[in-house]
Structure 1
Amino acid sequence: MNGKVTTTRTKLERGRSALGPALELVHTGRAPTRAVLTSELGVTRATAGAVAAELEALGLIRVDSSPGSAAGSQGRPSHRLAVRESGPVAVAAQVHADGFRAALVGLGGRLVATAPGSVTITADPAQVIGEVVDDCARLLRDSGLRCVGAGLAVPSAVAEPEGNALNPLHIAWPAGAPVSEIFATCVREAGIEGPAFTGNDVNLAALAEHRHGAGREAQHLLCVATGHRGVGGALVLDGRLHTGSSGLALEVGHLTVNAEGRPCHCGGRGCLDVETDPLAFLTAAGRTPGPEESLLKQSGDLLRNEYEDPAVRNAAEELIDRLGLGLAGLVNILNPDRIILGGLHRALLDADPERLRAVVADRSLWGRSGSVPILPCTLDHNSLVGAAELAWQPVLDDPLGALA
C-alpha cells in the first residue's frame, strides 16, 4: 500500500514539475499539439495529458479534444494546444524619449489592449511612471481580466539588483533614478496584482523577439536597435538575457564607428549611439527634425517615401556603413548565430540588405568564414511584449505557485 502511495505521489510531483516547462512550450508556440508536448517533455502521453489538463484548469491554455485530421494524415489526430484568449494578462509599460505607452499582454506575447499616453516626458520619473501605470490600471479595469504582474521598459541601463536607471541619456531623468522602486510603488498603489519588474527597453525587445519573433530558436541572439533616440543592444544566450554582473552588459551604443564623428553623450566621439540613430539620419539627409512627430517615424517615412532622393540615399548608405562596422566588431567578439535589428536599423536593413550584410561580412572574421543571418525584428511593440515577459516569468517557472 505504501509503495502505491509513494508511486502515486512521485507521478504527481513529476507532473507538477512539468507544468512550467509545458506552459513555456505552449507560450512560445513550440508545442502546438499534445503529441509534440509529450515528445518535448520526454514524458508519457498520459502524463502530458494530465499536465495539459492542469494548465487548462488554471485558465492558461485551451485543449481542443476533438481536432480535425489534416488531409491525407494517418492515425488519430493529436489534441491541439493554444493559449487561452480570455486568460490572465500582464500589464506592460514603456517610456521613451517621445512618450509612453501602456498595454495588456497575454500568454504567447499577444497584445490584448494598448493605450498610447503622453508625448511629453517630464524630468520627474515618478510623475511619468505614475501616469503610465494609471493607464495600465485603466486598461486592466476595462478588460475585467486577471493580472499576473507588471513590467516596465525604460531607455536606460538598469543596474541590478538596485533597479536604478544609470544613464537615461535621451530623457531628462536624473542619473541613478530608482525606477524599479518607483514602478513597484505605483503598481501597488494602483491596485494592480502581482510582482513588478523593470528592465532596459532593448533587452526586453530582444527577449520578446527570442520567444515570439525573429529570434526564435537562436542560441546566441544579438539584437541591435535604435528607437526614438540612441542605440541599444542585447544578447540572449540559451534563452536567457545576458545582462552581465550588474545588469549593464551590451552598451553597444558606445562603440566608436567614426573617429572624427559627432560628440557623444558618454564623452566619446563618433559612437554608434550618435552616428546611426534617427537624428543622425535626418541630419545627414539634410532634413530638419520636426517637433510634430517622433524622430523615428519621421526618419522611417523618409526612407520609405523618398529613398530615390540622392541626399536620402547617401545618408542611408552612410548610416548602413557605420552600422555594419559596429555589427562586425560585435560579431568578432560575440560570435552570434543570428542578428536582429529594430527601429531605424530595421528600416535601413530593408532599404539595402545586401550592402549591410556585405559590410558585416567584409569587416568581421566570422562573417567571412560563414554568413551570420541578419534579420529584421518582427514584433509590434516588442519592448512592451518583453516587459510583459518579465511579469510572466514567475508563472512560467511555477504556474501553480504563482497563481495560488
Structure 2
Amino acid sequence: MNGKSTTTRTKLERGRSALGPALELVHTGRAPTRAVLTSELGVTRATAGAVAAELEALGLIKVDSSPGSAAGSQGRPSHRLSVRDSGPVVLAAQVHADGFRAALVGLGGRIVATVPGCVAVMADPAQVLGEVVEAGAQLLRESGLRCVGAGLAVPSAVAEPEGTALNPLHIAWPAGAPVRDIFSACVRAAGINGPAFTGNDVNLTALAEHRHGAGRGAQHLLCVATGHRGVGGALVLDGRLHSGSSGLALEVGHLTVNAEGRPCHCGGRGCLDVETDPLAFLTAARREPGPEESLLKQSGDLLRAEYGDPAVRAAAEELIDRLGLGLAGLVNILNPDRIILGGLHRDLLEADPERLRAVVADRSLWGRSGSVPILACTLDHNSLVGAAELAWQPVLDDPLAALA
C-alpha cells in the first residue's frame, strides 16, 4: 500500500474514532458550532467537518447550512450544530411508588413524547414492566420514529452485574427481583430494537443533570434527592457514574443524622431516609397525609403554599438542619465541587437556601464545604432522561456500530 493510501486510511480511522466524542459534545450542548467541535476534539477543521457530516448522514445531528456568528464576534463564521429533531429515539421508563411513566427521548435529553400510567404498582414486576413497555411501544407506533434502545429507572439499588433490584422497599416487589432481565424480555416481546438497561432512579437523576441540567460542567458532582418515599444519593466523577464495585455505592439514605430519631427499615435509627423525606416533613408539620396525591407532591405543595405557617416553617427548618448535617458529612468524605438536590430537598433549598448552606459550612472539617455550590435540580422528569442516557450510551460510544 502506498503512502498516500496509508495517510488517507489513517485520517479516516481518526475521523471515525472521533464520531462518538463528537456526538457526545453535541448531545450535551458543549459543541454548539463546528469551530467549538474542532477545538474540543483537537483535530483540524477538515476532520471536524467530516465528522459532523458523517453524524449528519447517520441522521443524528443537523449542521446549519448557513454559517453564522454572534454579534460582535470576530473570525470566520462557523456552522451551527444541533441534534436532529426527527432523528432516532430511545424508550425511557420509570417506576415509582405511585405508578410509572414511559417516554420517547431523543438526543440532547429532549423528551419527544411521554405518558403516565397506573396509580398503584402491582406486586408482580413482570406485569408492571410489561405495561410500561407497551405504553412506550404505543408511543413509538404513533411517532413512527426509529428506536435504538431502552432504559428503565427503578426506586431501588440495582446490583451489578446481575441487574437485580435489591431493595424495592416502597413498591411491593420482592427483594432481588431480576428487573433487568424482565425489562429486556418485555422490550424484545414488544418488538423494540436495541439493548435494554436498568438503573437506580437517583443515579439516573444525577447522570441526566450532569449532562443536561444543573450539574453540567462539574467534575465531581454529588446528587441527593427524595423520591415519593426515602432518600437517595449519587456521585458523578469525570462524567461517569460512580456505582462502586457492585452498583451499590452512595446509599446515602442510611447516613445517621439523628441518633434518637425514627426507626429506619434498614434496622438503624434516625437515618436521612426517614428524617428528611416527604413523610417526615408532613409528620413534623402535623399534617395527615392524604390518599389522593403522592407524598412528594403533598409535601412540596405544603411547603410552597404554607411556609408562613409556624408549624410548617418549624418542620422545614428541622429537615433543613438534618439534611445539612448529612450533606456536610458527605462533603467531608467525597469533596465534590458541586451538590445538586432533587425532590423535596430541592424545595427545602429554595425555601431557605442560606440556612442550608450555613449548616453545611458549619459542620465541615475546615469550613471549606461552605464554598461548595448547592443547586436545585432543573430538569423535568430527570430520572426518565437519565434512563434514556443509559440507552444512548452505546450510540455515544460508537455511533456506526450501534446504528448498523
Q: TM-score, normalised by structure 2?
A: 0.99
Task: Give the distance between the partners of 1:184 and 1:319, measured in 2 at CA.
Answer: 39
Task: Give the distance between the partners of 2:267 and 2:328, measured in 1 at CA.
Answer: 23
Shift of 1:368: 3.8
Shift of 1:119: 1.0
CA contact 1:148–1:403 (8 Å) conserved in 2 = yes
Q: Deviations over 1:116-143 (max 9, x none)?
A: 1111111111111111111111111111
Shift of 1:159: 0.3
* SS of structure 2 residue aligned to 1:218: coil
Task: Give the distance between the partners of 1:244 and 1:181, measured in 2 at CA.
Answer: 21
Q: Deviations over 1:54-110 (max 9, x none)?
A: 000000000002133333333331000000000000100000111110001100001
Shift of 1:367: 4.0
Shift of 1:366: 4.7
Task: Give the distance between the partners of 2:331 and 2:365, measured in 1 at CA.
Answer: 8
Task: Give the distance between the partners of 1:199 and 1:350, measured in 2 at CA.
Answer: 28
- Percent identity between the aligned chains? 91
Task: Give the distance between the partners of 2:383 and 2:367, measured in 1 at CA.
Answer: 28
Q: Deviations over 1:231-274 (max 9, x none)?
A: 00000000000000000000000001111111111111110001
Q: Deviations over 1:298-328 (max 9, x none)?
A: 1110011000000000000000000001101
Task: Give the distance between the partners of 2:141 and 2:275, measured in 1 at CA.
Answer: 43
Shift of 1:206: 0.2
Q: Deviations over 1:142-189 (max 9, x none)?
A: 111011100000000000000000011111111100000000000000
Corresponding residue for 1:80? 80
Task: Give the distance between the partners of 1:130 and 1:84, measured in 2 at CA.
Answer: 30
Task: Give the distance between the partners of 1:67 and 1:291, measured in 2 at CA.
Answer: 56
Shift of 1:370: 5.2
Task: Give the distance between the partners of 1:294 and 1:31, measured in 2 at CA.
Answer: 39
CA contact 1:328–1:367 (8 Å) conserved in 2 = no
Shift of 1:28: 0.4
Shift of 1:333: 0.6
Task: Give the distance between the partners of 1:317 and 1:99, measured in 2 at CA.
Answer: 30
Task: Give the distance between the partners of 1:172 and 1:326, measured in 2 at CA.
Answer: 28
Matched length: 404
CA contact 1:90–1:148 (8 Å) conserved in 2 = yes
* SS of structure 2 residue aligned to 1:262: coil
Task: Give the distance between the partners of 1:311 and 1:228, measured in 2 at CA.
Answer: 22
Task: Give the distance between the partners of 2:189 and 2:72, measured in 1 at CA.
Answer: 57
Q: Which moved more, 1:62-71 or 1:164-173?
A: 62-71
* SS of structure 2 residue aligned to 1:225: strand
Q: Which moved more, 1:119-128 or 1:201-210?
A: 119-128
Shift of 1:227: 1.4
Q: TM-score, normalised by structure 1?
A: 0.99
CA contact 2:93–2:133 (8 Å) conserved in 1 = yes
Task: Give the distance between the partners of 1:368 and 1:400, measured in 2 at CA.
Answer: 45
CA contact 1:205–1:383 (8 Å) conserved in 2 = yes
Any runs of at least 4 consecutive aligned residues in structure 1 with deviations exceeding 2 A, and if so which? 67-76, 366-370
Task: Give the distance between the partners of 2:171 and 2:70, measured in 1 at CA.
Answer: 53
Shift of 1:330: 0.4
CA contact 1:362–1:368 (8 Å) conserved in 2 = no
Q: Which moved more, 1:200-209 or 1:64-73?
A: 64-73
Q: Deviations over 1:270-305 (max 9, x none)?
A: 100011000000011011111101111111100110
CA contact 1:331–1:366 (8 Å) conserved in 2 = no
Shift of 1:338: 0.5
Shift of 1:369: 6.4
Q: Deviations over 1:349-391 (max 9, x none)?
A: 0000000000000011254465111000000000000000000
Where structure 1 has 5 or more consecutive residues not aligned to the other structure, the ranges are none
Task: Give the distance between the partners of 2:75 and 2:254, measured in 1 at CA.
Answer: 57
Task: Give the distance between the partners of 1:246 and 1:200, measured in 2 at CA.
Answer: 13
Task: Give the distance between the partners of 1:165 and 1:370, measured in 2 at CA.
Answer: 36
CA contact 1:93–1:152 (8 Å) conserved in 2 = yes
* SS of structure 2 residue aligned to 1:365: coil
CA contact 2:28–2:211 (8 Å) conserved in 1 = yes
CA contact 1:219–1:238 (8 Å) conserved in 2 = yes
